């Protein structure tokens, strides 16, 4: 037992109290079988002398281990490793011994899912032509912080800080209903709305709650990678259709439907991701008729609806849905900033009720404080004023950016000035290696995407909204130098 003391190391400079260091090390020795169950341990006085600490420290360590059940004391006999830990002394393994760093590698098998191994988009400091993020510097943070503070300090805190409805804050659902009815031409009430953390959570809920493995769904060939990830991970069968200058190819959808049952079609009717094109009115009408005829769910992603510059945006499919086939999804991530995870699903009451039950499994409720603060922002018009202000700024930045692309990079790129959204869908000369280009640009201080995750060769999204005119000019200058030096 005295040699055992050599295995115990005390670091008096460590922030962890010495008695807890000792108890943790002794516990580990028991787990490893070095101290088998029933073993009598050194007296507190002896161990204190061997490891050069105060005896009271050893007493506290032993007491801690006894409280946790690792040690037991027998009057007149001393302190022992608990006898009920005998089975830990001689572990039996049915597999070869594998030595791993448990902080880096699990001892169990982790299934590999290539679809989940996609890069995560992130907002990083410095110059960037991102995926189409809003400028957080424009966000109404003062108004939001006041609204949030009001929620924290006033009213019945038992209810405000306790559990709330799984569907989300009733106040937010009431204000959202008013807002969506006025801006989208919907005819909702609060029971038609489920609050979620964002569009990704909304689509994931749809897949989990309304689809089964044998179901067949339709996605666009070039589309939101997160939707594809959720669908593939669930194991459903997926068919892909093309997107052209008028949006999703509805004729292709009809031909697929005629071959067998389709459970769901995912559509971004306005500002399709990544191409930014809008679904033409005749295709909208036909898509709704196909949903009614073949009985499939239409999941309508309200991507960048708020930011439309040419004219009034086309109203969502949900506003013309007379058969209850559409689930409409929107988010405040682009309205305010991506960090504020707040979105919503809109649909028939029974479907929303069903989705709310599933929501409990992954998220008992959302951020009630943020939801009520956002409700106040909507009620008093702060969100609406922010949108009017930011839309004018984003329109100006779009025009400046497209002008720079045309004047500075005309030999390298092709693009269409987008009617809306926060990014330009940009095609590069096929001779240009976008991966190499993004690496060169990064070395010069500019972050751009190589477009790999978008599924269309030689294309990338270049976001303009989150950069000032001066930053856009600097970004184009760097991109031009990178193109010349590749």
Question: What is the reported pLDDT for 126?
Answer: 87
pLDDT at res. 157? 76
The residue assigned the tokens 């666009």 is: 220
pLDDT in tens, 3-40: 666 788 888 888 899 999 999 999 988 888 888 888 89
Number of Cβ atoms within 10 Å of the Cβ of 234: 16
User: Is 457 part of a structural domain of the chain?
Assistant: yes
Is residue 203 located within the same domain as residue 275? yes
pLDDT band for 89, please (50, 70, 90 cuts).
Answer: very low
The tens digit of pLDDT for each residue in 223-236 reads: 888 888 889 888 89
Select from 355, 384, 413 the last residue of a domain.
Answer: 384
Q: What CATH number corresponds to the domain at position 162?
A: 3.40.640.10
Residue where a domain stops, chosen among 326, 358, 384: 384
Q: Is the pLDDT of residue 148 over 90?
A: no
* Cα(462)–Cα(478) distance, integer angstroms: 14
With cut-offs at 50, 70 and 90, classify the pLDDT of residue 151.
confident
Same-domain pairing of 73 and 204: no
Pair (62, 153) in one structural domain: no
pLDDT at 223: 84
- Phi, psi angle pair for 191, to nearest 5°: -75, -10
Buried b (16+ CB within 10 A) or exposed e, 187-213: ebebebbbbbbbbbbbbbbbbbebbee
Residues 371, 481, single domain; the answer is no
Band of pLDDT at residue 159, cut at 50, 70 and 90: confident
Q: What is the pLDDT of residue 399?
A: 96
Is the domain of 232 the same as that of 372? yes
Q: Which residue has the higher pLDDT, 456 or 463?
A: 463
Burial class of residue 67 in the structure, from the number of CB atoms within 10 Å of its CB (0-12 exposed, 13-18 middle, 19+ buried)? exposed
- Least confident piece of the model among 28-37, 101-110, 198-207, 329-338: 101-110
**Domain holding 406: CATH number?**
3.90.1150.10
Percent of the chain with pLDDT over 90: 59
Question: Is residue 115 in some structural domain?
Answer: no
Statement to judge: residues 376 and 404 lie in one domain: no
For residue 94, tell me if it sits in a domain: no
Token pair listed for 241 = 């259709």
Confidence bin at 98 (pLDDT 50/70/90): low
Same domain? 368 vs 248 = yes
Inside any domain, residue 279: yes
CATH number for 50: 1.10.10.10
Query: pLDDT category, 357, cuts 50, 70, 90?
Result: very high
Q: Does 109 map to a domain?
A: no
Neighbours of 126 (CB within 10 A): 10
Q: What proportion of the chain, given as a percentage, has pLDDT over 70?
A: 95
Which domain range does residue 13 map to? Answer: 3-89
Task: List, in order, residues 6 or more apart from 478 with CB less than 8 Å away.
Answer: 127, 441, 444, 445, 446
Where is average pLDDT lowest: 10-24, 74-88, 330-344? 74-88
pLDDT 10s digits, 55-69: 999 999 999 999 999
In a domain, 334, yes or no: yes
**What pLDDT score does 93 carry?**
59
**242 and 195 in a common domain:** yes
From 81-85, 111-115, 212-216, the region with the lowest mean pLDDT? 111-115
Strand 423-428 and strand 413-415: pairing? antiparallel
149 contact partners, CB below 8 Å, separation of at least 6: none
For the chain, count helices (H), then strands (E): 16, 16
Task: Determine the average pLDDT of the residues in 73-87.
Answer: 84
Mean pLDDT of 149-154: 85
* Mean pLDDT taken over the chain: 89
Shared domain check, 356 and 283: yes
Is residue 334 scored above 90 in pLDDT? no
Contacts of 67 (CB under 8 A, 6+ apart): none
DSSP 420: B
Last residue of a domain, which of 384, 406, 434?
A: 384
pLDDT of residue 92: 58
User: Could you tell me if 411 and 321 lie in one domain?
Assistant: no
Structural domain contains residue 412: yes
The answer to whether residue 85 sits within a structural domain is yes
158/275 same-domain check: yes
Pair (145, 247) in one structural domain: yes
Over residues 255-264, the mean pLDDT reads 96
For the chain, what is the domain count?
Answer: 3
User: Which residue is listed with tokens 């969502």?
Assistant: 316
Q: Which two tokens stand for residue 162?
A: 């306790």
Q: What is the mean pLDDT of residues 72-79?
A: 88
At residue 91, does pLDDT exceed 60?
A: no
């Amino acid at each position: 037992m005295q040699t055992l003391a050599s295995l115990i190391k005390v670091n008096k400079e460590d922030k962890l109290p010495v008695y807890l260091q000792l108890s943790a090390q002794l516990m580990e020795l028991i787990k490893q079988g070095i101290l088998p169950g029933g073993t009598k341990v050194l007296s507190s006085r002896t161990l204190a002398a061997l490891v050069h600490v105060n005896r009271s420290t050893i007493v506290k360590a032993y007491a801690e281990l006894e409280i946790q059940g690792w040690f037991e004391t027998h009057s007149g006999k001393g302190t022992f490793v608990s006898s009920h830990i005998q089975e830990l002394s001689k572990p039996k393994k049915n597999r070869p011994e594998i030595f791993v760093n448990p902080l880096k590698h699990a001892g169990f098998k982790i299934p590999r899912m290539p679809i989940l191994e996609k890069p995560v988009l992130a907002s990083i400091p410095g110059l960037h032509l991102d995926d189409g993020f809003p400028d957080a510097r424009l966000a109404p943070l003062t108004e939001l912080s006041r609204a949030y503070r009001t929620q924290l300090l006033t009213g019945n805190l038992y209810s405000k800080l306790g559990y709330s409805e799984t569907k989300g804050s009733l106040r937010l659902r009431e204000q959202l209903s008013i807002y969506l009815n006025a801006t989208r031409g919907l005819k909702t009430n609060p029971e038609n709305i489920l609050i979620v953390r964002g569009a990704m959570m909304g689509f994931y809920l749809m897949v989990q709650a309304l689809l089964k493995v044998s179901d067949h769904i339709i996605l666009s060939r070039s589309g939101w990678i997160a939707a594809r990830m959720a669908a593939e991970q669930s194991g459903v069968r997926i068919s892909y259709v093309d997107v052209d200058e008028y949006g999703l190819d509805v004729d292709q959808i009809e031909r697929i439907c005629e071959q067998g049952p389709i459970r769901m079609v995912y559509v971004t009717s306005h500002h399709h991701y990544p191409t930014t094109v809008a679904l033409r009115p005749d295709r909208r009408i036909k898509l709704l008729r196909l949903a009614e005829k073949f009985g499939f769910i239409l999941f309508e992603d309200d991507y960048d609806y708020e930011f439309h510059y040419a004219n009034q945006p086309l109203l969502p499919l949900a506003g013309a849905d007379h058969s209850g086939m559409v689930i409409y999804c929107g988010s405040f991530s682009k309205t305010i900033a991506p960090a504020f995870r707040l979105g919503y699903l809109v649909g028939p009451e029974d479907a929303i009720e069903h989705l709310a039950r599933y929501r409990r499994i992954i998220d008992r409720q959302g951020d009630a404080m943020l939801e009520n603060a956002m409700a106040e922002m909507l009620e008093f018009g702060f969100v609406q004023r922010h949108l009017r202000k930011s839309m004018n700024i984003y329109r100006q930045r779009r025009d400046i950016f497209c002008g720079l692309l045309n004047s500075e990079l005309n030999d390298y790129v092709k693009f269409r000035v987008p009617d809306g959204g926060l990014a330009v869908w940009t095609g590069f000369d096929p001779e240009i290696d976008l991966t190499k280009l993004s690496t060169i640009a990064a070395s010069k201080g500019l972050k751009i995407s190589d477009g790999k995750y978008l599924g269309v060769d030689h294309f990338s999204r270049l976001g303009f909204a989150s950069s000032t005119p001066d930053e856009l000019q600097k970004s184009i200058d760097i991109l031009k130098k990178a193109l010349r030096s590749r």
